[in-house]
Amino acid sequence: MYNVTCEVIFRYWNDAVIALFPYEITDLEGNCSSYMTIGQHGAASYKAILRESRLATPEEYASLEKELVHIGYRLKIIQRRNYQKYRRAFVSACHSNQVDNLSNNHE
């Protein structure tokens, strides 16, 4: 699926593990891409998830990590996002051809 490594943060949230991709911006509000076994891909509010969750342990996220690798992800597990890197990803998404997709989410 991916030719590049995706940075991911695994959080324990609402009795399940969620994978946050903090540099994959999904809309103009700065939400990021996420993945859960139930529901699979979706947008997530990074700040809200952090407020309402805790870091998942390796034992808790092992199954989700395996699932992501199985569907083609190359993962680099991180503990938190780097704000400067996030800002660059957000600005890049807004200035690239993704901006049409981002804008359509708010019509």
Q: Looking at 7-16, 54-63, 78-87, 95-104, which range is the least confident one? A: 95-104
Residues 6+ apart with CB under 8 A from 2: 72, 73, 74
pLDDT digits (tens, 9 = 90+) for 5-29: 999 999 999 899 999 999 999 988 8
- Is residue 66's pLDDT more than 70? yes
- Is residue 1's pLDDT more than 80? no
Q: What tokens appear for 92 in the block?
A: 């890049």
Domain boundaries, the chain: 5-80
Phi and psi (nearest 5°) for 103?
Answer: -65, -35
Rounded to two decimals, what is the model's pTM? 0.84
Q: Give the residue, 22 or 39, on which the prediction is more confident.
A: 22
Amino acid at 60: E
